[in-house]
Amino acid sequence: MGGADARIVRNTTLLILALVAMRLVAAAVTPITFDEAYYWMWSKNLAGGYYDHPPMVAYVIRAGTMIAGDTELGVRLVSVLLALPMSYAVYRSAAILFGGARVAATSAILLNVTMMASVGTLIVTPDAPLLVASSFVLFFLAKVLETGRGVWWLAVGAAVGAALLSKYTAMFFGAGILIWLACVPKLRRWFLSPWPYLGGLVALALFSPVILWNADHQWVSFAKQLGRAKIEDFRPVFIAELIPTQIAFATPLVFILGAMGLHALTWQRAGARASRVLIEAMFWTIVAYFVWHSLHARVEANWFAPVYPPFVVAAAAAANLAQWKPRARRLADFCLRWAAPVGIVMFAALIVQANTGWLSGYRRDATVRSVGVGWRELAAGIEAMRARYGATCVLAQDYGTTGWLAFYLPSGTCVVQQNQRIRWVNMREPDPKLLAGKLLYVDELHPDGHPVLDALFAKVTQVAQLQRKRGPLVVETYGVDLLEDAKGDVLDRSPPPEAR
């Protein structure tokens, strides 16, 4: 490695370490989201699968809390640190596919400054480990191309298996790999080799706990996720959300570079054919599915996580390799120069806004309901009510409130979601004695009260109205009801729609 390349590697490493350190600080000071609280409860009851997703997110959280405890930082610690191997995988992928430390460094930096990676590894959802696994899928496929050695297919299988343990979206990697092999003549020999099929067996073996869990639970998780978009639900309005949300998640300048890179790869302006086709196959296969999905149902912005590794490699190729006319060259240079500063500023602004509301003058925004600002104070008020009335358990009506209550109430407090019991099938059922006494019910205020509770309990008394606030903004007002004299089983054990 020459002196210039060594300097690029050193500077890139220092920048990525600084970005990870910034995320760790943000992780420690930002209250967890309701999804994170829900997945944290999964981590206390590890299993081969869950109603919503495969189990990897639970294992990531469990590892972090073993190190830093049941804190905001503990929940997020391992997810944030996984950005380091993710960056290495993307760096090496770009170096193999397109050559040179500059393209590789650009790829790693651009990925880290996207909101998808900076927020996506900070807020722990299944997309966080999926993004990391996707980076290694690309890296190991690049090693197959570079070395021609079949043993690397086992690594590909392991990475795809890890991705499948993160989210079912990873199943599209198989189609992308087949398209790549079929479209590059020199790679078609792998169809006659046992190695890709052995790699497939490795992926299947890693994914088998999820299959077995679903088999034991009426295939409920598969039915829930794979049945999201139905052909009869044709509503193309959702497709209009795709590009704006991805511009935001990629950050505008990285998005422009990525789009330019995909154009350059399509028209053979950068890289060898096998490299170009690999990037496009891994990108467009998943994008094509989500475009189809958006014709029938909403596609959340974070669902595109697995396409970001090939996307930023394409962006780096656009910035450093592609031949452009003067106007396009100036645009690419501008985007490359300012992509990192813009991404860092956007991340910092989001964290400040989520925690304080300053930037919107304390008005509502997209973060206000999902981030648990104000929950620590709210939970203190609920605990005071629980102690005052001698309630033995706290009930909630949705998984998010249940997760927040369990996280912010004193450790060991009985917290149960009254309905949708399939979500908690991996947890030990609450002690019947705890449900037989006085209970507290916590839910947002409803003008018509809670008719379901009136049918389940002889006496329902509202004992408090408590506010969750971010600064002067009232995010939500919760009613706290005292439930007495249950008439029967207080839990709604109706099967989910997927199991009926």
* pLDDT reading at 232 higher than 60: no
| Local structure of residue 33 (DSSP, 8 states) | B
257 close to 335: Cβ distance less than 8 angstroms: yes
Q: Could you tell me the pLDDT band of residue 62, with boundaries at 50, 70 and 90? A: very high
Structure confidence by residue, pLDDT tens digits, 194-207: 999 999 999 999 99
Q: Could you tell me the pLDDT band of residue 231, with boundaries at 50, 70 and 90? A: low
Q: Could you tell me the pLDDT band of residue 228, with boundaries at 50, 70 and 90? A: low
Q: Could you tell me the pLDDT band of residue 82, with boundaries at 50, 70 and 90? A: very high
Question: Which residues lie closer than 8 Å to 394 by C-beta, 6 or more apart?
Answer: 382, 386, 405, 409, 413, 414, 415, 416, 439, 440, 441, 442
* pLDDT reading at 234 higher than 60: yes
DSSP structure string for 315-381? HHHHHHT----HHHHHHHHHHHHHHHHHHHHHHHHHHHHHHH-GGGTT---TTTTTB-TTHHHHHHH
* pLDDT reading at 500 higher than 70: no
State the pLDDT at residue 297: 78
**Stretch 135-161: mean pLDDT:** 98
Mean pLDDT of the chain: 93
478 close to 443: Cβ distance less than 8 angstroms: yes
Question: What's the CA gap between 376 and 393, in Å, rounded?
Answer: 18
State the pLDDT at residue 3: 79
Structure confidence by residue, pLDDT tens digits, 300-347: 888 999 999 999 999 999 999 988 999 999 999 999 999 999 999 999
Measure CA of the first residue to CA of the last residue in the chain; give whole Å.
62
Question: What's the CA gap between 370 and 36, in Å, rounded?
Answer: 10
Instruction: Let me know the angle formed at the C-alpha of 415 by 412 and 416, rounded to the nearest 5 degrees.
Output: 140
* pLDDT reading at 46 higher than 90: yes
Q: Could you tell me the pLDDT band of residue 2, with boundaries at 50, 70 and 90? A: low
**Best CA proximity match to 393, nearest among 430, 443, 419:** 430
Question: What's the CA gap between 131 and 116, in Å, rounded?
Answer: 9
State what percent of residues in the chain have pLDDT above 90.
82
Question: What's the CA gap between 38 and 393, in Å, rounded?
Answer: 18
91 close to 12: Cβ distance less than 8 angstroms: yes
The amino acid that residue 297 corresponds to is A
**Stretch 156-167: mean pLDDT:** 98
Greater model confidence, 198 or 488: 198
Q: Which residues pair with 396 in a beta bridge?
A: 417, 442
Question: What's the CA gap between 242 and 295, in Å, rounded?
Answer: 11
The amino acid that residue 461 corresponds to is T
The amino acid that residue 95 corresponds to is A
Question: Which residues lie closer than 8 Å to 418 by C-beta, 6 or more apart?
Answer: 395, 396, 397, 441, 490, 491, 492
pTM here?
0.94
**Stretch 218-247: mean pLDDT:** 78
Residue with tokens 């005052």: 388
State the pLDDT at residue 495: 84
Phi, psi of 450 (to 5 degrees): -135, 85
Burial label, 363 (beta-carbon count in 10 A; 0-12, 13-18, 19+):
exposed
Question: What's the CA gap between 240 and 237, in Å, rounded?
Answer: 6
The sign one gets for the Cα dihedral 395, 419, 55, 141 is negative
466 membership: H or E segment, kind and range = strand 457-470
Q: Could you tell me the pLDDT band of residue 446, with boundaries at 50, 70 and 90? A: confident
Question: What's the CA gap between 286 and 275, in Å, rounded?
Answer: 18
Question: What's the CA gap between 458 and 401, in Å, rounded?
Answer: 24
Structure confidence by residue, pLDDT tens digits, 214-227: 999 999 999 888 76
Q: Could you tell me the pLDDT band of residue 229, with boundaries at 50, 70 and 90? A: low
Structure confidence by residue, pLDDT tens digits, 389-434: 999 999 999 999 999 999 999 999 999 999 999 999 999 989 999 9
State the pLDDT at residue 204: 98
